[in-house]
Structure 1
Amino acid sequence: MPKRLIWILIIIMTFALIALVILQGYWLKNAFKVKEDHFRQQVTQALTEICKRAESRETIIEISNEMFSLNNGSQNIPEFYNNAMLFDSAKNRIAVSRQSVLFNKTKNIHSNTKITILNGDSVIFNKIISKCKPENFCNNISQIDIGKELKNKMNNKTLFVEKIVNKLLNFNEDISKRLDKSILNAIIESELKNQGVNISYEFAVKNNESKIAYSSINYNPNSKDIYKIQLFPNDLFSPSYFLHLYFPRKDNFIVKSLGYMSTSSILLILIVIFSYTLTLIIILKQKKLSEMKNDFINNMTHELKTPISTISLASQMLKDKSVDKDFKSLNNIAVIIEEESKRLGYQVEKVLQMAIFEQSNFKFRIENIDIHYLISGICNNFSIQVEKRGGTLTTKLEATKLFVEGDEVHLSTMLLNLLENAIKYCDKEPLIVVSTKDANKGMYISVKDNGLGINSEDQKRIFEKFYRVHTGNIHNVKGFGLGLSYVKIICDAHGGSIKIESELNKGSEFIIYLPFKHQKI
């Protein structure tokens, strides 16, 4: 796929994703606002009902106290009574009733009194009196006496109501006595549940100066989004008090009230973002892999072309009759063909090995290997190449436990790859040090050089297949970008690991960890 087309596709996908996220976010924001407005209406309605119930309760208490103490101070007559209070939430009605019986020598008086409060602002007063006379008692009561009696009772009732109204309008008691904290809390909880607001809350009662009269235990005066209403708003001369109410987990409650719509929308957005990110990573990786493969093909062509050309040239020399074909010349041509054939076979074998490793279809010949003996043999043979460059190859074998379970051929090839890179990527006289150290349940093998070094960005990718620090069609150094990838695969296959410490223009150090016991991966 052309590079330009890839970037156009990425831009289109990015724009579509951003638009989708913005639209979903806008929809969720509006849905949240609608739920928040509905929540505010519910709380406002609950506060109104709380205020009504508080006033109704106080009215009932005062009427009851006045009514039931009206005649107690003026009569010394034996009296038996029964009181009852009824609250009907369905009809929003509160009723207080008393039945009493007064005993006298001449008459027994039965009284049934009932007070009903409707909607918090209307009062119905009913009183039924009946009397029972002895069998031999009879007395004529004139119409005038009855009228006077009724007039007196009406006057008494007028005074009774005026007294209660004046007292209610001019209440001067402390708010904690008028409305107990526990009672107010019970009213708040009841009314919030009636409105469908089943959520924790905190409240406080404050005066005009915002001084707290009392509050719930965890009330925070600095909280935002507080709902407020005046308690006992019909008081004329009493100090004003306000109920402050807020909900610490309001946002969570509103989000939960959105239900599956919000959850599914957020989940959809996350899935789309994840899919987009994964797709973008795959596209960029495939693009990079394609570039690396092209680079590999160019490198492979360069690496294979040289030995093929050399062998071809040697063959032509053998055919050419003008060339002297004495024993020495034939021997030189044979040596050239043999060396170039080995070189060609080595490169082909390395590519085939990588293909086999990629399919995880390889087998190891596991045996106990003396690592120091293995390193010494490799370094003795390789030191000739180092000395040709005017450098030195030294060993510091300090590990005390020498034997490791592994495949000798692959471990030898692994070390040879590191030594070849130490010479290949050095622009001066190479100084190479191979060392060993003890490790927990294994040993460290280090190959250190004074070469070009590798920058931090390349260090993250040098163990990837086909990756080379120097890319392009022009190469100062030959290679396929397979050597370090092969080293990493061998380390992993033995249950070990490899890391690099490098600095540009100062050299590199590859540190390999190999366990004593082979761990099949």
Structure 2
Amino acid sequence: MKKRFTTIKKPNLLLVYALMAVAFITCFQLYWLYSVYNNQKSLISEETENMLKEYALDYDGMSIMGNINGNGAILAPEMRHLPPDSLTEGISIQVKLSGDAEHGMLRDSIQKTLDSILSLKGSGKLDSVLYNKFKSRLSAAYPNLEYGLSYNIGDKKTSFPNPMPNTADALIVVKTSQINPFNQFRLILFNLESVVFQNMVWDIVLSIVYLIVCISAVVLLINSTKKSRKLLEMKDNFTNNMTHEIKTPLATLYAATEALDKYDMLDDKVAAREYIHIMQADLKRLTEMAESILYNAKLSDGRINLKKENINIKQMLADIAGKFKPSTEALNAVINTDSIPDDMYIKADAEHLYNVFCNLVDNSLKYSEGNAQIYFSAREEGEKVKIWVEDNGVGIAEAHHKDIFKPYFRVSEGDVHTVKGYGLGLSYAYEIIALHKGVLKLLKSQPGKGTTFEITLPQDQDNG
């Protein structure tokens, strides 16, 4: 019985750490917002409770005024309302309570309240005046807070507003009179949660911005790391492919020189010439590889200076077709330039533009399954010239479209040499066209349906 071995992929530690960091930051922000929420809620509750306490003291003072003698001394603890009309001009009230320090504090508070109430003579019903005073203070502190106020004085129950809305979800603050425990004052806060969140708007906004910045930084770090890894992988592939590409002609050169030396083939001029041609072809191949690497290095450093001249497009493509004639004959391929106008000129660097077209033709031949058909077409559009290079090759999968112009990228990933190359041709072509202030783009490509490239260049021609 055969055993099956399952390959377990190692987790991406960077991704794990990044997710942990995002989770920690998110939890920290939520905890911070929760703390701010509780603090805001406690603050509003505490301040409104203090306001209710002052209201209760004011009301106690108003009640005391219903039981004073001519000298302003309190005679009894009974609670009666004194209409404003009974307040006389110049009346002076002095609170006299015996007892400890706590009673002294109460006396001072009531004395202050009574002095304030005496100033309200002629303002209307005193409980309404006190409510309006309370309302103005609370509205000034929290203008969006919806509330109700009710109090029980003996058998009498008063509420503002009247009738009182449903208080099922409201926060109720209760205060008891300091001079009559049967008198209770209730402050009902209907939308405390909403007011708390309104006060936290900037805290929430800043927290969200901070969270977005942190997550963006983590995402950028992950993307940057992925790109670095991918670039390193492509460079490794490039090194492997380049090593293979160099080893092949070097091995051929070594074999040819060894044959000439060991077997005395120098006397056989026909055989010697054949070996010399082989050596020249391999040396040319090595030279082209070195030049390609050098050109890309110069492009990366910005050290390429274009030497522009008037170029006849059709003549240049005819020269390229002649260069590739041995390859096209061997592969039964065709390079068709019939659609190019004979009098189409463009001002460009001849050497580099020639190399761009050579790279495109070379790719079309390498990535074909025999009987390659390569068509060049062009037309003028205003002050620009558009050139199309179309083939019937194997095509490029859509997943690779965005990467084909990147240095070292090859569709045949890994150390695969069924198609020779080192991933610099298209990136070089793209940068050269960009230096000419033009655009090279992959117009369309599908597996099994060929590929079409489009080159757009400013015409800037001079036929005269």
The alpha carbon displacement at 1:95 in A equals 4.7
Which of 125, 129, 135 is 1:188 aligned to? 135
Is the CA contact (8 Å cut-off) linking 1:201 and 1:247 kept in structure 2?
no
Counterpart AA for 2:32: L
Q: Deviations over 1:372-407 (max 9, x none)?
A: 443344345445633432233223647899443321
After superposition, the Cα gap between the structure-2 partners of 1:229 and 1:425, relative to the gap in structure 1 and judged at 3 Å, is same
Q: Match of 1:327?
A: 269
Which of 103, 106, 112 is 1:91 aligned to? 112
CA separation in 1, counterparts of 2:299 and 2:455? 19
Q: Deviations over 1:92-130 (max 9, x none)?
A: 4465669xxxxxxxxxxxxxxx9799xxxxxxxxxxxxx
Tell me the secondary structure at the aligned position of residue 91 of structure 1. helix
CA separation in 1, counterparts of 2:361 and 2:316? 14
Q: How does 1:294-305 map to 2 (within 5 A)?
A: 294-305=236-247
The alpha carbon displacement at 1:447 in A equals 1.0
Overall identity of the aligned pairs, in % = 24
Is the CA contact (8 Å cut-off) linking 2:55 and 2:134 kept in structure 1?
no
The alpha carbon displacement at 1:368 in A equals 3.2
Q: Match of 1:514?
A: 457
Q: Match of 2:144?
A: 201
Q: How does 1:152-191 map to 2 (within 5 A)?
A: 187-191=134-138
Larger Cα-atom Rg? 1
CA separation in 2, counterparts of 1:331 and 1:7? 59
CA separation in 1, counterparts of 2:365 and 2:245? 17
CA separation in 2, counterparts of 1:378 and 1:37? 80
Q: Match of 1:253?
A: 199
The alpha carbon displacement at 1:420 in A equals 0.8
CA separation in 1, counterparts of 2:339 and 2:259? 49
Tell me the secondary structure at the aligned position of residue 254 of structure 2. helix
CA separation in 1, counterparts of 2:128 and 2:139? 18
After superposition, the Cα gap between the structure-2 partners of 1:186 and 1:385, relative to the gap in structure 1 and judged at 3 Å, is farther
Calculate the aligned-residue CA RMSD, in Å.
Answer: 5.0
Normalised to the residue count of structure 1, the TM-score between the two structures is: 0.62
Q: Deviations over 1:8-35 (max 9, x none)?
A: 6426633651463255235414422431
Q: Deviations over 1:78-97 (max 9, x none)?
A: xxx899xxxx9993446566
How many residues were matched structurally?
Answer: 406
Q: How does 1:26-105 map to 2 (within 5 A)?
A: 27-42=31-46, 44-45=48-49, 48=52, 63-64=82-83, 66-67=85-86, 91-93=112-114, 95=116
After superposition, the Cα gap between the structure-2 partners of 1:179 and 1:205, relative to the gap in structure 1 and judged at 3 Å, is farther
Is the CA contact (8 Å cut-off) linking 1:64 and 1:96 kept in structure 2?
no
CA separation in 2, counterparts of 1:186 and 1:271? 47
Does the alignment pair 1:503 with 2:446?
A: yes
Does the alignment pair 1:408 with 2:350?
A: yes
Is the CA contact (8 Å cut-off) linking 2:149 and 2:187 kept in structure 1?
yes
The alpha carbon displacement at 1:315 in A equals 1.5
Q: Match of 2:24?
A: 20
Tell me the secondary structure at the aligned position of residue 364 of structure 1. coil
- Show structure 1 runs of 5+ residues with no match: 70-80, 99-113, 118-163, 169-177, 216-220, 235-239
Is the CA contact (8 Å cut-off) linking 1:95 and 1:115 kept in structure 2?
no
The alpha carbon displacement at 1:413 in A equals 0.5
Q: How does 1:453-492 map to 2 (within 5 A)?
A: 453-492=395-434
After superposition, the Cα gap between the structure-2 partners of 1:203 and 1:473, relative to the gap in structure 1 and judged at 3 Å, is closer
Counterpart AA for 2:112: K
Q: Match of 1:341?
A: 283
Is the CA contact (8 Å cut-off) linking 1:451 and 1:506 kept in structure 2?
yes
After superposition, the Cα gap between the structure-2 partners of 1:426 and 1:63, relative to the gap in structure 1 and judged at 3 Å, is same
Counterpart AA for 2:197: D
Counterpart AA for 1:31: S
In terms of fraction of residues, the more strand-rich structure is 1
Is the CA contact (8 Å cut-off) linking 2:238 and 2:422 kept in structure 1?
yes
Counterpart AA for 1:91: K
- Show structure 2 runs of 5+ residues with no match: 1-7, 66-80, 92-108, 151-160, 181-185
The alpha carbon displacement at 1:471 in A equals 2.2
Q: Deviations over 1:419-470 (max 9, x none)?
A: 1101100113212221223345422221111111111221111111111111
After superposition, the Cα gap between the structure-2 partners of 1:57 and 1:256, relative to the gap in structure 1 and judged at 3 Å, is farther
The alpha carbon displacement at 1:478 in A equals 0.4
After superposition, the Cα gap between the structure-2 partners of 1:95 and 1:8, relative to the gap in structure 1 and judged at 3 Å, is closer
CA separation in 1, counterparts of 2:426 and 2:398? 16
Normalised to the residue count of structure 2, the TM-score between the two structures is: 0.69
CA separation in 2, counterparts of 1:243 and 1:340? 91
CA separation in 1, counterparts of 2:132 and 2:456? 69
After superposition, the Cα gap between the structure-2 partners of 1:6 and 1:350, relative to the gap in structure 1 and judged at 3 Å, is farther
CA separation in 2, counterparts of 1:52 and 1:469? 83
Is the CA contact (8 Å cut-off) linking 1:47 and 1:229 kept in structure 2?
no
The alpha carbon displacement at 1:480 in A equals 0.5
After superposition, the Cα gap between the structure-2 partners of 1:513 and 1:46, relative to the gap in structure 1 and judged at 3 Å, is farther
